[in-house]
Amino acid sequence: MTELKIVWDGGHLIAVDKPAGLSTQAPPGCDSLEFRLRAQLAPRTQYLAIVHRLDRPVSGIVLVALRKKEARLISDQFATRKVTKQYAAIVAGHVVPGQSVWTDHVRKVPDRPLAQICDASVDGAKHAETRVQVIAYDQSVDRSLLHLFPHTGRMHQLRIQSSHRGHPIIGDSDYGSVDNESAPQPTVPGPLMLRAESIEFHDPANGRRISASVETLPWTDGFG
């Protein structure tokens, strides 16, 4: 079993780089980030709490508490929106340069593991907001590199908001994929080009503002 990379260690709170394709949590005995971490950190701690999650196909940074106090304190920061997360995404098409804010209402699709944009009046509708920064556009493949800063944490939020605007994330077979060979083949996608690259929060141990990050993946290096 490949050891997970710990990119920041605050003693009772750590930041881990989750690989794409690995569930954050799963039933006991099934492979997941939590399962691997419990084995990896067994000599160090018996307590482990995943305080936020990434979708299975999404890679990147995840905070994990190793004590109940830190789990409660960092969960409070998420609840009061004091945590800032930055994602890198490559999407189809030319996104208008600059910064903008995507504001929608979303809901879970009944009886399916999917979400959708909906009217605010629909039962189960929840506000979803994401700040968007366009980093580059590659005309040769008609793709844009974005930095996404979600202000809310709705199910599949970044994926459905980008798809709703006609710019699905490359490799997303659930929400209108364009594969990583630039041909529309939603049933045969490549890797999902969405990565949680950094997170900022207050260290529960001392209140200092911490910025933790993971390495960028090759598909963002030298983009455009």
Range of the domain at 95: 86-194
Is residue 222 one of the residues assigned to a domain? no
- At residue 218, the pLDDT reads 82
Q: What share of the chain is helix, strand, coil (3-state, %, to 5)?
A: 10, 35, 50
Is there a single domain that holds both residue 42 and residue 99? no
**Please, is 150 exposed, middle or buried when counting C-beta atoms within 10 Å of its C-beta (0-12, 13-18, 19+)?**
buried
Shared domain for 63 and 44, answered yes or no, is: yes
On whether both 50 and 123 belong to a single domain, the answer is: no
Are 90 and 170 a contacting pair, CB within 8 Å? yes
Tell me the pLDDT of the chain (224 aa) as tens digits: 789 999 999 999 999 999 999 999 988 889 999 999 999 999 888 899 999 999 999 999 999 999 999 999 999 999 999 999 999 999 999 999 999 999 999 999 999 999 999 999 999 999 999 999 999 999 999 999 999 999 999 999 999 999 999 999 999 999 985 544 443 444 445 789 999 999 999 999 999 999 999 998 888 776 65
40 and 133 together in one domain? no
Q: Is residue 48 part of a domain?
A: yes
Same domain, 183 and 209: no
Same domain? 127 vs 185: yes
**Same-domain check for residues 108 and 186:** yes
Q: How far apart are CA 219 and CA 31, in angstroms?
A: 26
> 72 and 111, same structural domain?
no
Q: Is position 223 within any domain? A: no
Residue 221 lies in a domain: no
Domain with residue 25: its CATH number is 3.30.2350.10
**DSSP assignment letter at 224:** -
Same domain assignment for residues 23 and 79: yes
Our count of domains for the chain comes to 2
